Amino acid sequence: MISTKNDVINITYPKPDKELTSGKFRDLLTYMGPGVILAAGTIGNGEVFFSSRGGAIYGYILIWTYLLTAIMKGIVVYTGAKYITLTGEHPFARWGQIMPGPKNWLAIFLGAIALISFPSWASGFMNVLAQWASWVLGIDIAYKKIIATVFAVIIFALLFIASYDRMEKIITVIVLSMVVFSFVAVLAVKPEWLEVIKGMIIPTMPGNYADWIVSKYPDVASNPPLVELAAYLGALGGGTYDYIGYVGTLREKKWGLLGNPNCEKIQAQLRQLDKNEIIPLPTDEDSLYRANSWLKATKIDDMVSFIGVFIIGTVFMVLGNVVLGTNGLQLIPNDNEIIQHQANFFATISPILAIFYKLTIGITFFGSLVSLVTTVYPSTFRESFAPSFPGLSKEENYNKIRIAISAYSLIGGLILIWSGFSYTKVVSFASIMGGVFSLGVWGLAMIWTEKKALPKEYHFSKGMNVTILFFSLIMLILGLYAFAKFVGLA
> Tens digit of pLDDT for each residue in 450-464?
999 999 999 999 999
Q: Count the neighbouring beta carbons within 10 Å of the beta carbon of residue 32.
A: 20
Distance of CA 97 to the CA centre of its chain: 27
Q: Count the neighbouring beta carbons within 10 Å of the beta carbon of residue 180.
A: 11
Lowest mean pLDDT among 59-68, 179-188, 246-255, 390-399: 179-188
> Over the stretch 32-44, which tens digit does the pLDDT of each residue have?
667 666 666 566 6
What is the pairing mode between strands 8-9 and 2-3? Answer: antiparallel
For residue 488, what pLDDT band results from cuts at 50, 70 and 90?
Answer: confident
Q: How far lies 60's CA from each of 55, 159, 316, 334, in Å?
A: 6, 41, 11, 19
Distance of CA 222 to the CA centre of its chain: 28
3-state SS, residue 195: helix
For residue 166, what pLDDT band results from cuts at 50, 70 and 90?
Answer: low
What is the average per-residue pLDDT within 160-180?
A: 64
Distance of CA 132 to the CA centre of its chain: 23
The predicted structure's pLDDT at residue 165: 59
Residue 1: pLDDT over 50? no
> Over the stretch 214-246, which tens digit does the pLDDT of each residue have?
999 998 888 777 777 787 788 787 888 888 888
Lowest mean pLDDT among 95-99, 117-121, 357-361, 443-447: 357-361
Q: Does residue 66 contact residue 77 with C-beta atoms inside 8 Å? A: no
Of residues 18 and 164, more confidence is placed in 18
Q: Is 403 exposed, middle or buried (0-12, 13-18, 19+ CB in 10 A)?
A: middle
| Of the candidates 30, 11, 18, the residue with the CA atom closest to the CA atom of residue 257 | 11
The predicted structure's pLDDT at residue 43: 64
> Over the stretch 40-59, which tens digit does the pLDDT of each residue have?
656 666 677 888 999 999 99
Q: Does residue 309 contact residue 47 with C-beta atoms inside 8 Å? A: yes
Distance of CA 487 to the CA centre of its chain: 24
The predicted structure's pLDDT at residue 310: 87
Distance of CA 212 to the CA centre of its chain: 33
Q: In sequence order, what are the residues at sequence separation of 6 or more whose Cβ sits closer than 8 angstroms to the Cβ of residue 265?
A: none
Residue 147: pLDDT over 90? yes
| Of the candidates 74, 129, 163, the residue with the CA atom closest to the CA atom of residue 475 | 74
Q: How many distinct helices (H) and strands (E) make up the chain?
A: 23, 2
Residues 15, 29: Cα–Cα separation, whole Å: 19
Q: Does residue 316 contact residue 361 with C-beta atoms inside 8 Å? A: no
**Count of alpha carbons within 13 Å of 158, Cβ hemisphere only?**
22
| Of the candidates 297, 236, 263, 239, the residue with the CA atom closest to the CA atom of residue 90 | 263
Q: Is 195 exposed, middle or buried (0-12, 13-18, 19+ CB in 10 A)?
A: middle
Q: The pTM is what?
A: 0.86
What is the average per-residue pLDDT within 108-131?
A: 92
Residues 41, 373: Cα–Cα separation, whole Å: 9
Domain ranges of the chain: 2-102+163-339+423-486
For residue 31, what pLDDT band results from cuts at 50, 70 and 90?
Answer: low
Q: Does residue 137 contact residue 3 with C-beta atoms inside 8 Å? A: no
Residue 405: pLDDT over 90? yes
**Four-residue CA torsion sign, 296, 299, 301, 307:** negative
The predicted structure's pLDDT at residue 482: 87
Residue 276: pLDDT over 90? no
> Over the stretch 202-218, which tens digit does the pLDDT of each residue have?
988 888 889 999 999 99
Roughly how many angstroms between the first and final C-alpha of the chain, as a whole number?
A: 57
Residues in the chain: 490
3-state SS, residue 224: coil
Residues 80, 243: Cα–Cα separation, whole Å: 9
Q: Which amino acid is at 51?
A: S
> Over the stretch 175-205, which tens digit does the pLDDT of each residue have?
666 667 778 878 888 899 999 999 999 988 8
The percent of residues above 90 in pLDDT, for the chain, comes to 42
Q: Which amino acid is at 311?
A: I
Residues 13, 287: Cα–Cα separation, whole Å: 6
Q: Dihedral (C-alpha) 315, 51, 137, 372: value to the nearest 10 degrees?
A: 100
The predicted structure's pLDDT at residue 175: 61
The predicted structure's pLDDT at residue 360: 77
The predicted structure's pLDDT at residue 17: 83
For residue 279, what pLDDT band results from cuts at 50, 70 and 90?
Answer: very high
The predicted structure's pLDDT at residue 252: 82
The predicted structure's pLDDT at residue 300: 87
* Highest-scoring range by mean pLDDT, 40-49, 276-285, 401-410: 401-410
The predicted structure's pLDDT at residue 301: 87
Residues 82, 94: Cα–Cα separation, whole Å: 14
Residue 447: pLDDT over 90? yes
The predicted structure's pLDDT at residue 474: 93
Q: Count the neighbouring beta carbons within 10 Å of the beta carbon of residue 208.
A: 9
The predicted structure's pLDDT at residue 90: 92
> Over the stretch 67-112, which tens digit does the pLDDT of each residue have?
999 999 999 999 999 999 999 999 999 998 899 999 999 999 999 9
Maximum Cα interatomic distance, the chain, rounded to a whole number of Å: 72
For residue 382, what pLDDT band results from cuts at 50, 70 and 90?
Answer: very high
What is the average per-residue pLDDT within 321-332?
A: 92
Residue 288: pLDDT over 60? yes
| Of the candidates 475, 119, 86, the residue with the CA atom closest to the CA atom of residue 266 | 86
Q: In sequence order, what are the residues at sequence separation of 6 or more whose Cβ sits closer than 8 angstroms to the Cβ of residue 52?
A: 316, 317, 319, 320, 324, 333, 341, 342
DSSP 100: S
For every residue of 232-254, DSSP letters joined together read HHHHTT--HHHHHHHHHHGGGGT
Residue 489: pLDDT over 80? no
